[in-house]
Chain A
Amino acid sequence: MVDSISRIASALDTAKVITREAAAVATSKLGESSYTYYSQNINPQQLVTLLNSRNSREVRDAMKRIISIMASDDNSIDVELYFADVVKNITTNDTKVKRLIHLYLLRYAENDPNLTLLSINSLQKSLSDSSPELRCFAIRALSDMKMTSLAPIILHTIKKLVTDPSAMVRGEVALAIVKLYRAGKSEYHEELLDVLKDLMADTDPKVISCAILTLKECYDDHLELLHGHFRRYCKVIKQLDSWSQSYLIEILIKYCKQFLPKPTVVDKSSEGSSRNCLLPEKYNEIEYPLYDVVNHPDLDLFLQSLNRLIYSSKPPVILSCCNALYQLASPMQMKNTKFIESLIATLTTTTNQGNKEMILQAVHFLSVLDQTLFLPSINKFYIFPKDPIVVSVWKIQILSTLINESNVKEIFKELKYYVANAYLPEKVVIMAVKSLSQCGQLSTGWESRVMKWLIDHMESHKLSVSILDAYVNVIRTLVQNNPTKHLRIIFKLADLLTAQMSLADNARAGIVWLFGEIASIEFKICPDVLRKLIPNFSQEGPETRCQILVLAAKLLSYDIDNFKQAQTTRVEDAETEENDQNHTYYDFSSSRISQMYNAVLYLAKYDDDFDIRDRARMISSLFDSGKYEIVSLLLQAPKPAARNDDFIISLRLETHDSKIKDFFKMLPWNTEIIETDSDVRETVALKDYNKYKKSFSSQSFISSNSARSFTSSSNTNLTGNNEISNNGNSISGKSNTNTFASQDGKKYRLQSLDEFFSDIPERKTKPKRVMRVKEESSGEDEDESEESSDEDESDDDGYSSSSLETSSSLSDD
């Protein structure tokens, strides 16, 4: 026998080399591509034949074809025409075909409710199948059909399967609630809420994950449901699905704000002082330099439980944790945890562009409120050459929030590099220029330093219009803050105007405008500037011409006012209290300024640009009418000091996305918490389905592994209801109880039998809520009878034969 095999094998061995090569060819011929080719050639008539075939293989081919058509948005064949042919195949035993039909129904069921009903019967049958996967599939397929007539059936199914032995099925029930809830019909909401309560009390993390989703989607105003589970959820949070983790954190933030008292801040800055206050509503508004925060123990529990998620690979979890600390803790607490570091690490490693932008916005949001959070990692916000524009712009904006005395030198140097770099995109350069003004606002010294550099750079480089605009804007902002201190810069600007005729129109216009504003402070230099501008009026650009006109008008108005002032003082000196009539009028003909004004006006009246002509006429009519008060009101109106957010490059790049704003919206603390004697967060009874699970496997490798904090030996016979505490207050006191990992590697707390029995609450409100203890050795269950009435059906089918074997084999040990 062996001999013959070896002979065949040796032949095949030589053939092996060939087959390997052939395999490559074969995959192309017999593999996926060829199948696709075959499949694409199925025509509509064949499709009907195949769908009605008795051969399951053919039905499968047809279904695959239909799904391919749906997935490729192919309009040549209308797959909806085969509705009846497809749906009747739901009775097949082939699970793949079933799933494919489900896909089909998901898309088309709404369009043909009557024919869809054909499939209900078969699906309902599957609900009591022995395989949990199939039960799961059935409830899923049923609840996916968005038909109002089906709602009672789905509700019935939900109620029936909520006690299913399989955690997967129970989880699916929670998701079915979401679907039924969304389908409308508010009359079911109450009943569904009861089911959800049961699911929330489940011990399986999978079911809790699903229940949290349901809570978030449907009942997010029923936060009181969390009372009995708050502490338990805080402890098991790490075992939940990563999506549910972030959902749960967001829900618990709301819960804490609603039901927990506000933390107290205790002053620690000076010894012996016992000042304290409540945590301010707004972030980073604690006035003590050093402080301690006293939290409600449950709030502490929640905040500590977050620490376990620090290594999460899912960005939403990290961001939610940051939000929790932002909403519920003081800046100091936030810094003590490592979540800021973690957020930056996520930002650095992620390749997901959308996430990167959102995290940058979040960082910016937090950094505006408290710059100290991100000060240690300032280098992270220097841009890299390959950063996309959006990322670069946000990084620079974050940098500008971080500028302070100690790092300004370094940041200024870096920003200068960006500004001077010809290869960076324009928007990035503009943003860097804008951030320079932030450097300048630090002190007068920096103000002049920044301006000097900008002017030097402006002189020596050829810059694009929009960048020049930004330069002038920044210079304007900085000069306006403190004009008297920057006279030298102003002189320099005047030189620039005359020396650099090549300067772009908008930049020149900006500078001319600036002189019009400076006139109120340093009138002396302005007429000279205007004088130098007039000869070249016709060579200037339209914006500059317009500004020259305005400058001339402004100067005249100031001059008239000055004259009047001088008059009044002279009149007052002469102590004549007679009225204006006595005033000598301003002499337009002899005033140099008036002459210049007239010259400009004359030029402007014949300008190409109608806007300039219009303005010239308006201004001249104002002066002609002699109402100088109106003139000075119009022209000398004090301009508000320009703020940085006044000039916005692009709204999209500089405003936080509405989602970030909503996300970090500070929720108010509830100040009217009703204090009750009894602990509302006392842990309620749980629903434990562990008896359906197989018991500990003798082979469990976890037992040999200390990393799973397996402190008690696995031979312990009791798989108790995990996490039932005697009384809710003793969170810290419980730490000495045993914990062990069950077969799925999760940590559970061991309870002694005494503890357990003492725990059966007298005031148990719901007799239906059953707690079970399973003793493996005996395999008996005290509540068996009560339970079996609920679910005879699933009891029969629910035990898969293998699980029975297992328990028996173990009880033999």
Chain B
Amino acid sequence: MYLSFYITDIQNKLVFQYLLGATAPSFKHLWTRVQSTCPQLLEDSSSDNYLDQAMVGKDLEVYKYFSITNKLNYWCLASTSKSKGPLDCFTFLETMDCILLEYFDKDRLSIKKLVNNYDRISLIFNCCIEAGEPNVNDFLYVNKIKEAVPERSDLSKFISSTAHNLQQAVQLPQQRQQQLQQNQISRGNISLVEDEEIVPWRTSKTSKHENNELYVDLLETFHVVLEKKKSRLRLVNGDIRGAVDVRSYLNDNPLVSVRLNTMGNEIGIPSLHECVEINDDDEFNPSNITFIPPDGKFRLLEYSIDLDSQLKKSGIRMNSIGMISVHFQNGLGKDSDEFELSLNVESSKKVAQIEDLKLDLQFNIENTGGSDVAYKVKILRNTHGRFENSVTMGQGQWIFDKATPTGTIPVLRGCIEYEGVQPNSTRNIDLYTVSLDYSYVGQSASGISVEAIDILSGLTIGKNTKLYKGAKYKTKTGDFQVRL
């Protein structure tokens, strides 16, 4: 049973709290308690003492969930119960994070947004938690929450929509008359089903949209570790994690079909939004996903592609992934203390530029046989960006500009200068691993693409309402490391 919820920023300063009863402690009280009983809870996840759950009293547990998108910590205080599954609390906190994002229809929640909407957020929490448990009475659907807690109609939205309406009225005065009539007729029809929900995640009562819009975003993050074997690269382990996010602003109750072209990738067992229709005996088919979309933003499916097994099956050697391939060589130059690192950014029609490219270089200082060697990495030639030596020993960063055009071959050549050591004595500091960090828009790492977005039925499109559809691709690196 949940007793209270708190949202804090990264520094663990309270942003919002929701207490379920007179006995629930305020954040200040909880804070002192946590500090005395389990300070590990307050640590960062990179620390090895880090905890995300702990007992803070008899039958009282605290759980913590860090939302990566919002940079907020969600906390909850719950009473211990045997019947609670090990994932329940974390999942619920994550769900709350999603609900808030979907409710405000934002990509990121700012603290200001939370502060400005204390009343609304309190009501949202109130909807989602009933009897100290997640409200299973369909109140975890954002459409239901929106019904109970109406959104504020923003003044800016109001102004722009009025202007838009009037503009249309000017441009198409006659048509508008007809459409108005048509609208009335069609609205008459709609009202028959309006009160009846067709699916729990969609209410016909939801706000009418100016235009019918349906956008599909494909976001892929790839995690790859490659190993240099002679001149070739070999995959050690890797996967691509993809998510299909949909933003749907459609009137009525349309049945939508999205067709994905997997380009031969095995997407395993994806997790689907419950709106996706699958017959009991059928397997999920990515080339035909049909669903009645919830209104607004939602995650349609999440998949992961296991590159290892895929490569084993196909027998293809993987040399590059995600537009960039890396080559590096040690032991160049006459003293063989130079290294060269070159990237090959493929040219592509779909992708114009690579964003925020950054390389982390690690040198194996361990090989010095236990003795401390003073040395310095000196850059001899650098075609793009700048090189920075890191504070920690044996690391450096090659940082590119905000955007790097595709179709280029950046090269970095440097040497290691040993200080106060005779040449020939120890020359075993090499470039050891290279990690890349970047993102680009326009293509997915796996090549998966949206083939078609169709609205199969259920949408009445008047003459003045247009239908906008679109797909967007974004690829990000999660882990991309090349080992020597």
Contacts and interface: CB of A to CB of B under 8 A. Distances in A.
Given A657-B86, A743-B196, A745-B198, A313 B274 contact: yes
Contact of A502 (B47, B193, B370, B395): B370
Interface in A289-339: 307-308, 310-316, 319-320, 338
B132 to A, nearest CB: 8
A115 to B, nearest CB: 14
Given A210-B136, A345-B268, A349-B241, A72 B14 contact: yes
Nearest to A178: B131
21 contacts: A12-B167, A19-B159, A68-B118, A70-B19, A72-B16, A99-B123, A133-B148, A178-B131, A217-B83, A243-B133, A313-B299, A313-B302, A319-B85, A320-B85, A349-B243, A352-B90, A379-B306, A382-B225, A461-B370, A663-B86, A708-B277
Given A168-B137, A316-B88, A353-B52, A27 B272 contact: no
Interface stretch (A415-423, A604-612, A751-759, A787-795): A415-423
Nearest to A392: B48
Interface stretch (A156-164, A673-681, A693-701, A764-772): A693-701
B223 interface: yes
A241 B117 CA distance: 28
B236 A705 contact: no
B269 A20 contact: no
A67 interface: yes
A108 B22 CA distance: 6
A320 B85 CA distance: 8
A307 B271 CA distance: 13
Interface in B156-211: 156, 159-160, 163-164, 166-167, 169-170, 173, 189, 191-200
B16 A71 contact: yes
A744 B198 contact: yes
Interface string B119-142: 101110010001101111110100
A18 to B, nearest CB: 10
A446 B365 CA distance: 29
Nearest to B27: A73
A383 to B, nearest CB: 9
Instruction: Classify chain A's interface size.
Output: 35 or more
* Chief secondary structure at chain A's binding surface: helix
A637 interface: no
B444 to A, nearest CB: 15
Given A653-B48, A806-B196, 4 more contacts: A96-B123, A175-B131, A246-B88, A806-B195
A545 interface: no
A349 B193 CA distance: 38
B65 A352 contact: yes
A559 interface: no
Interface in A192-242: 206, 209-210, 212-213, 216-217, 220, 238, 240-242
Contacts of A24: 156
Interface stretch (B278-286, B332-340, B343-351): B278-286
B431 to A, nearest CB: 13
B192 A316 contact: no
B391 interface: no
B478 A420 contact: no
Nearest to B169: A9
Contacts of A310: 269
B457 A704 contact: yes
B51 interface: yes
Interface in A67-110: 67-68, 70-73, 96, 99-100, 102-103, 106-110
* Chief secondary structure at chain B's binding surface: mixed
A20 B264 CA distance: 46
- Among A64, A71, A389, A657, the most chain B Cβ lie within 10 Å of the Cβ of A71
A71 B166 contact: no
Nearest to B23: A110
Interface string A333-357: 0000010011001101101111101
A277 interface: no
A4 to B, nearest CB: 11
A165 interface: no
A27 B159 CA distance: 11
A199 to B, nearest CB: 12
Interface in A30-58: 30-33, 35-36
A168 B141 CA distance: 13
Given A23-B156, A175-B131, A802 B90 contact: no
A652 interface: yes
Instruction: Classify chain B's interface size.
Output: 35 or more
B126 A106 contact: yes
Contact of B159 (A23, A176, A354, A427): A23
A246 B126 CA distance: 22
A669 to B, nearest CB: 20
Nearest to A304: B280
A6 interface: yes
B164 to A, nearest CB: 8
A107 B22 contact: yes
Contacts of B167: 9, 12-13, 16
Contact of A422 (B126, B131, B149, B394): B394
A388 B45 contact: yes
A15 B253 CA distance: 36
Interface of B: 1, 14, 16-24, 26-28, 45-53, 63-66, 68, 82-91, 94, 112-113, 115-119, 121-123, 126, 130-131, 133-138, 140, 147-150, 152, 154-156, 159-160, 163-164, 166-167, 169-170, 173, 189, 191-200, 223, 225, 236-237, 239, 241, 243, 253-255, 268-274, 276-280, 284, 290, 292, 299, 301-304, 306, 308-309, 362, 364-371, 394-395, 433, 435, 456-458, 478-479, 481, 483
Contact of B18 (A71, A352, A694): A71
A354 B90 contact: yes
A709 B395 CA distance: 60
Nearest to A386: B479
B192 A806 contact: yes
A543 B215 CA distance: 67
- Among B26, B163, B239, the most chain A Cβ lie within 10 Å of the Cβ of B163
A5 interface: yes
B398 to A, nearest CB: 16
Contact of B241 (A348, A377, A379): A348
B136 A32 contact: no
A129 to B, nearest CB: 15
- Among B113, B130, B483, the most chain A Cβ lie within 10 Å of the Cβ of B130
Q: A-B pairs with the 9 shortest C-beta distances?
A: A23-B156, A354-B90, A32-B116, A701-B458, A462-B370, A16-B163, A171-B137, A313-B271, A9-B170
Contact of A346 (B123, B271, B394, B479): B271
A101 to B, nearest CB: 11
B170 A6 contact: yes
Contacts of B236: 382, 414
Contacts of B272: 311-313
A33 B112 contact: yes
A764 B112 CA distance: 61
Contacts of A107: 19-22, 24
Interface string A642-670: 00000000101100010110110000000
A174 B365 CA distance: 65
B239 A745 contact: no
A314 B306 CA distance: 21
Interface string A104-125: 0011111100000000000000
A244 interface: yes
B439 to A, nearest CB: 15
A354 B278 CA distance: 30
B21 A146 contact: yes
A380 B87 contact: no
A316 B87 CA distance: 6
A733 interface: no
- Among A238, A358, A694, A802, the most chain B Cβ lie within 10 Å of the Cβ of A358
Contacts of B196: 693-694, 697, 743-744, 806
Contacts of B134: 243
